[in-house]
Amino acid sequence: SDPDSLQDFCVANLNSSISVNGFPCKPDAEVTFHDFFFDGLSKEGDTTNVFGSKVTPGSVLEFPGLNTLGISMNRVDFAPGGLNPPHSHPRATESGVVIKGKLLVGFISTNNVYYSKVLSAGQMFVIPKGLVHFQLNVGEGKALTFTAFNSHLPGAAVLPLNLFASTPAIPNGVLTKAFQVEDDVINAIKSKFGS
């Protein structure tokens, strides 16, 4: 859902001091085949973290050749029981294919309807633009999925981190009221994320 391109390609110059919507193009004379290939999704992500999952991004920031083309991909690895926590992508619809393992994939509509299914290798899912979603490894071993986005920079608002690990922190008074709990519950959650 990014804007249409105005030329064949516009390999990003990520270091330009010029600020535009997207990134400025590097000069055509400097573009080579290297700009259109990317190895960054070939390695398993390190899932040793509280969630037991790792998103390895392949957005314009890692793969500058994607600039202005309205497309990108991620690799997501899961330890057994690992969760890619509830999050949303403000600029893209997501589709994914499970490569390995068994994933519970769920999203919630703006009407608070929950849609979900357990998927195994070869099966696809789609997450409509901007909706909150997650994937949970419900299989015995590791799991792996590749996801694709109709934006070169989909962005991700990860709910637990947005709400409980922001800088500066959201005042407890907001969170106690929002979740109808006491201060100690909010402090306990914040402490899990090191804030």
Contacting residues toward ligand GLV, per CB under 6 A: 55, 74, 76, 84, 94, 133, 135, 147, 156
**Choice between 116 and 172, CB closer to ligand GLV:** 116
- Name which of Mn ion, ligand GLV, none residue 72 binds, using a CB cut-off of 5 to 8 Å depending on partner kind: none
Report in angstroms how near the CB of residue 74 gets to Mn ion at its nearest: 7
- β 114-120/102-108 pair status: antiparallel
- Name which of Mn ion, ligand GLV, none residue 55 binds, using a CB cut-off of 5 to 8 Å depending on partner kind: ligand GLV
Q: How many CB atoms lie within 10 A of CB 172?
A: 15
- Name which of Mn ion, ligand GLV, none residue 60 binds, using a CB cut-off of 5 to 8 Å depending on partner kind: none
**Choice between 131 and 170, CB closer to Mn ion:** 131
**Choice between 2 and 94, CB closer to Mn ion:** 94
Beta strand residue intervals within 59-123, DSSP E: 72-78, 83-88, 94-100, 102-108, 114-120
Question: Roughly what angle, to the nearest 10 degrees, separates helices 183-192 and 172-179?
Answer: 110
Residue 41: closest CA among 56, 52, 54, 53 = 56
179 phi, psi to nearest 5 deg = -105, 0
Report in angstroms how near the CB of residue 170 gets to ligand GLV at its nearest: 23
Report in angstroms how near the CB of residue 2 gets to Mn ion at its nearest: 17
- Name which of Mn ion, ligand GLV, none residue 76 binds, using a CB cut-off of 5 to 8 Å depending on partner kind: ligand GLV
Report in angstroms how near the CB of residue 114 gets to ligand GLV at its nearest: 16
The Cα 168–Cα 14 span in angstroms is: 27
Question: Is residue 166 helix, strand or coil?
Answer: coil
